Amino acid sequence: MYVAVKGGEKAIRNAHQLLTKRRRGDTGVPALTLDQIAEQLAISVARVMGEGSLYDEQLAALAIKQARGDLIEAAFLIRAYRTTLPRFGYSQPIDTGKMLVERRISATYKDLPGGQLLGPTFDYSHRLLDFALAAEADGEIEAPVRRTPIDEPMPRVTDLLDDEGLMEADPVSAEDAPVGDLTREPLSFPADRDLRLQNLARGDEGFLLSLAYSSQRGYGRTHPFTGEIRYGAVEVEFFAEELGFAVSLGTIKVTECQMVNQFQGTAKSSPKFTRGYGLVFGQVERKAMAMSMVDRALRWEELGEEQVAPVQDTEFVMSHSDNIQATGFVEHLKLPHYVDFQAELELVRRMRGEWFAAREAEEKASRNQKEAAE
Amino acid sequence: MTAQQKPLDEGEYNFAYLDEQTKRMIRRAILKGIAVPGYQVPFASREMPMPYGWGTGGVQVTASILGADDCLKVIDQGSDDTTNAVAIRGFFEKTAGVETTFETSKASIIQTRHRIPEKDLREDQIIVFQVPIPEPLRFLEPRETETRKMHALEEYGLMHVKLYEDIAKNGHIATTYAYPVLVNNRYVMDPSPTPKFDNPKIDKMAALQLYGAGREKRIYAIPPYTEVKSLDFEDYPFEVQKFDKPCGLCGAENVYLDEVILDDKGGRMFVCSDSDYCEERREAGHLGPMAADPNAMTLAGGTSDQHSEEPAR
Ligand SMILES: [Zn+2]
């Protein structure tokens, strides 16, 4: 058993060759192209870009293909690639108020400036398998009816409601305030909100989803309402020192979620609506929502709330949200541990010996007692 | 930034993969670790092309100290031929092109997981340990904020209580690997999951010891000839595992042995976990009681065709 892992170089080479073959599958079936993946599995691609922390649809599509559709493995490939890229600096903050909006909904206001825009969504669809897709032919799809573009601006819902002081304002930081970056500095606790949001943005969708869900079921209640979800393209700008002004690097598609939470006030803070914030690459709406709920829950200290639930525990949440770290450590159990197991074998043998000896001694003693009594 | 075709080739990587800025950052952490023996120095661990938990800390430390004229040995479970040792050695052959070896005495840097070679290391050697959980207090207190405080205040009562409870319950300390040590009479340190058999080797070792934990983003170090004491009690002194048989292949005694199952009828033998040590002894003519059994030889991975996989360079 133990020696089986002493396979050496040849076994590894052969295993990887077999993987290559299995990855490709039946060669009678055409190979996937990166464009097919990027175009038709866009939400997988967006998840890999988000959790892999690199916005590049073609690279994410390649990673998904190489990983046989294993999205965590794909995000890992992207992370490992990303770490080798030179850093030029940090972009300007993106302005989601100027987003080219494809979808925008609010659950708190029936109507608001710019209106609601349902956009491409699974919501309200009947989840019935569409067997017609199984034999989908190439070709044109009927053009959807879309709202004629209007010039009306579409301000973020949280910018609309400030005149009464009912809604907490966006925190303002100095223009030249340093940006925390947990890929450059080791994380230490307590962690400020910028680092928490960065951690959540890179975090595992499933982990955040479950944490957010737990907060809805009584483990750290945050009374959330979806103030707004918007999805669309925003411009990324970079301030070029040499030029003295910001230049556009291109556009990225993001989903932003502003969760609005009823808040009864504490000694530290007046009653008002507080907010949780979520921002992810692409249309990964579920994660944007979960992120905003977890973000809000993690703000308990600043708002003077009590810490009662796992979702509020910054160290617990931030230490376990990264699926690249998590999968590595869980899966490392596949590595040989026979030296340590040998040490444990010896210990358990010894402890068993002691246990049986003690039991035998006890039985003997009780037998003697019984005999003496008779 | 939108979907456009890019050159997707692997590209050129820097010597030993990491860029020089990153190496400098890691070397600073190493120097700090050497200055404060046993103290866990936080560092901005990078994402490596192997998974967390598979040696990313050790690999980053090795990459940062490796020079073109170094000779590298990589072992896992004491052996150069275990799968992960093969993968990590291959990584450095590919990205750094350095000379590699199976021979302990020939290596200038030895990266290891779970073992320390049987042969005494020298002053001109560095041993790099892969560390999964650097915090010796972690399973007594899960919070980093708390354990850092405990180290700062030298508040190690919890650890002694744990060891005491072991004795009260079992009559002995039930920790067989990752056995905690006190470094330079100051910091309690996790020696990584090496069996406690290896603990005496890290006391006053001539070689520099570097410990890297990638996922947990910590580096720590033990400078040469530093006093390292395994925690114990006066009336329950620290003891290492003892094997009642010598190595089945080379007859070595007082070395750490692997148990090898020979058949499905309970047949087993014990062989050196340090495969290079065992091989060298056999070449020098030492033979154990099972050495004549060809089946045993093959199962233990001790066949001569292992030599053919020795790196040529
Ligand atoms: Zn031997």
**Are both B264 and B213 inside the same structural domain?**
no
Q: Is A275 within the bounds of a domain?
A: yes
Catalytic residue list of B:
38, 247, 250, 272, 278
Residue B282 CA, ligand 1 centroid: distance in Å:
7
The predicted-structure confidence for A115-141, as pLDDT tens digits, reads as follows 889 999 999 988 999 998 988 888 788
Q: What is the amino acid identity at position A97?
A: G
Residue B108 CA, ligand 1 centroid: distance in Å:
23
For CA atoms B37, B40, B44, B45, give the dihedral sign. positive
Predicted model pTM: 0.87
Q: Is A355 within the bounds of a domain?
A: no
Residue B213 CA, ligand 1 centroid: distance in Å:
30
Give chain A's mean pLDDT: 90
Q: Which of B5, B22, B86 is the best mutation test for A, with the most CBs of A within 10 A?
A: B86
Answer yes or no: are the C-beta atoms of B301 and A41 closer than 8 Å. no
Q: Which chain B residue has the Cα nearest residue A331?
A: B53
Q: Which residue has the tokens 């207090």?
A: B137
* Full domain range(s) for residue A41: 9-82
The predicted-structure confidence for B198-227, as pLDDT tens digits, reads as follows 999 999 999 999 999 999 999 999 999 999
The predicted-structure confidence for B25-65, as pLDDT tens digits, reads as follows 999 999 999 999 999 999 999 999 999 999 999 999 999 99
Q: Is B230 within the bounds of a domain?
A: no
Confidence of residue B308 (pLDDT cuts 50, 70, 90): very low
**Which is more confidently placed, A143 or A21?**
A21
**Are both A128 and A216 inside the same structural domain?**
yes
* Domains: count for chain B: 2
The distance from CA B90 to its chain's CA centroid, rounded to whole angstroms, is: 18
Confidence of residue A109 (pLDDT cuts 50, 70, 90): confident
Q: Which helix (H) or strand (E) holds A344?
A: helix A338-373
pLDDT for the residue numbered A159: 76
Confidence of residue A208 (pLDDT cuts 50, 70, 90): very high
Judged by CB atoms closer than 8 Å, whether chains meet at B5 and A58 is answered as: yes
End-of-domain residue from the set A280, A301, A321: A321
Sort out which chain B residues have CB atoms less than 8 A from A76's CB and list them. Answer: 51
Judged by CB atoms closer than 8 Å, whether chains meet at B81 and A250 is answered as: no
**Are both B206 and B292 inside the same structural domain?**
no
**Are both B60 and B188 inside the same structural domain?**
yes
Q: Is B148 within the bounds of a domain?
A: no
B54 → closest Cβ in A1, A187, A335: A335
**Are both B181 and B295 inside the same structural domain?**
no
Residue B223 CA, ligand 1 centroid: distance in Å:
30
Sort out which chain B residues have CB atoms less than 8 A from A336's CB and list them. Answer: 76-77, 82-84
Q: Is B229 within the bounds of a domain?
A: no
* Domains: count for chain A: 2
Distance CA B84, CA B81 (A): 8
Judged by CB atoms closer than 8 Å, whether chains meet at A343 and B196 is answered as: yes
**Are both A266 and A203 inside the same structural domain?**
yes
Residue A209 has pLDDT above 50, yes or no: yes
Distance CA B182, CA B200 (A): 12
**Are both B182 and B295 inside the same structural domain?**
no
**Which is more confidently placed, A163 or B197?**
B197
> Stretch A206-224: mean pLDDT, rounded?
92
User: How far is residue A139 from each of residues A81, A130, A136, measured CA to CA in Å?
Assistant: 36, 18, 9
Answer yes or no: are the C-beta atoms of B137 and B202 closer than 8 Å. no
pLDDT for the residue numbered B140: 92
* Full domain range(s) for residue B14: 10-143+176-224
pLDDT for the residue numbered B307: 38
**Are both A211 and A157 inside the same structural domain?**
yes
Q: Which chain B residue has the Cα nearest residue A53?
A: B47
The predicted-structure confidence for A67-100, as pLDDT tens digits, reads as follows 999 999 999 999 999 988 888 888 999 999 999 9
pLDDT for the residue numbered A1: 25
Q: Is B35 within the bounds of a domain?
A: yes
ipTM of this complex prediction, to 2 decimal places: 0.82
The predicted-structure confidence for A24-71, as pLDDT tens digits, reads as follows 999 999 999 999 999 999 999 999 999 999 999 999 999 999 999 999
pLDDT for the residue numbered A322: 97
Q: Is B246 within the bounds of a domain?
A: no
Q: Which chain B residue has the Cα nearest residue A335?
A: B84
Confidence of residue B300 (pLDDT cuts 50, 70, 90): low
Sort out which chain B residues have CB atoms less than 8 A from A2's CB and list them. Answer: 258-261
Judged by CB atoms closer than 8 Å, whether chains meet at A84 and B17 is answered as: yes
Q: Is A368 within the bounds of a domain?
A: no
Q: Is B270 within the bounds of a domain?
A: yes
Sort out which chain B residues have CB atoms less than 8 A from A251's CB and list them. Answer: 1-2
Confidence of residue B281 (pLDDT cuts 50, 70, 90): very high
Residue B80 has pLDDT above 70, yes or no: yes
**Are both A50 and A187 inside the same structural domain?**
no
**Are both B134 and B181 inside the same structural domain?**
yes
The distance from CA B108 to its chain's CA centroid, rounded to whole angstroms, is: 15
Q: Is A332 within the bounds of a domain?
A: no
Residue B5 has pLDDT above 60, yes or no: no
Q: Which chain A residue has the Cα nearest residue B12?
A: A84
**Are both B83 and B213 inside the same structural domain?**
yes
**Are both A148 and A123 inside the same structural domain?**
yes
**Are both A125 and A214 inside the same structural domain?**
yes
Judged by CB atoms closer than 8 Å, whether chains meet at B3 and A185 is answered as: no
Q: Is A41 within the bounds of a domain?
A: yes
Q: Which chain B residue has the Cα nearest residue A337?
A: B77
pLDDT for the residue numbered B299: 62
Residue partners of A72: CB distance under 8 A and separation at least 6: A51, A204, A323, A324, A327
**Are both A78 and A108 inside the same structural domain?**
no
**Are both B31 and B128 inside the same structural domain?**
yes
**Are both B197 and B267 inside the same structural domain?**
no
Sort out which chain A residues have CB atoms less than 8 A from B45's CB and list them. Answer: 186
> Stretch A176-184: mean pLDDT, rounded?
86
pLDDT for the residue numbered A10: 84
Q: Is B196 within the bounds of a domain?
A: yes
**Are both B51 and B200 inside the same structural domain?**
yes
Q: Is A289 within the bounds of a domain?
A: yes
The predicted-structure confidence for A342-357, as pLDDT tens digits, reads as follows 888 888 988 899 899 9
Q: What is the amino acid identity at position A264?
A: Q
Confidence of residue B301 (pLDDT cuts 50, 70, 90): low
Q: Is A371 within the bounds of a domain?
A: no
CATH number reported for the structural domain that contains residue B214 in this entry = 3.40.50.11310
**Are both A128 and A195 inside the same structural domain?**
yes
Residue B131 has pLDDT above 60, yes or no: yes
Distance CA B95, CA B72 (A): 13
What letters, b where the CB count within 10 A reaches 16 and e where it falls short, cover A169-191?
eeeeeeeeeeebebbeeebeeeb
The predicted-structure confidence for A259-315, as pLDDT tens digits, reads as follows 998 887 888 778 888 999 999 999 999 999 999 999 999 999 988 889 999 999 999
**Are both B206 and B135 inside the same structural domain?**
yes
pLDDT for the residue numbered B41: 98
Distance CA A243, CA B228 (A): 57
Q: What angle do CA A32, A38, A39 make, to 5 degrees?
A: 95
The predicted-structure confidence for B161-187, as pLDDT tens digits, reads as follows 999 998 988 888 889 999 999 999 999
How far is the alpha carbon of A294 from chain B, nearest alpha carbon, in Å?
20
Q: Is B234 within the bounds of a domain?
A: no
**Are both A202 and A311 inside the same structural domain?**
yes
**Are both A216 and A76 inside the same structural domain?**
no
**Are both A76 and A196 inside the same structural domain?**
no
Answer yes or no: are the C-beta atoms of A155 and A258 closer than 8 Å. no
Confidence of residue B1 (pLDDT cuts 50, 70, 90): very low
Residue B253 CA, ligand 1 centroid: distance in Å:
8
The predicted-structure confidence for B234-278, as pLDDT tens digits, reads as follows 999 999 988 888 999 999 999 999 988 888 888 888 999 999 999
Going by C-alpha positions, the residue among B113, B126, B117 that lies closest to residue B224 is B126
Residue B296 CA, ligand 1 centroid: distance in Å:
12
Q: Is A357 within the bounds of a domain?
A: no
**Are both A155 and A290 inside the same structural domain?**
yes
Q: Which of B6, B116, B176, B240 is the best mutation test for A, with the most CBs of A within 10 A?
A: B176
Confidence of residue A163 (pLDDT cuts 50, 70, 90): low
**Are both B105 and B211 inside the same structural domain?**
yes
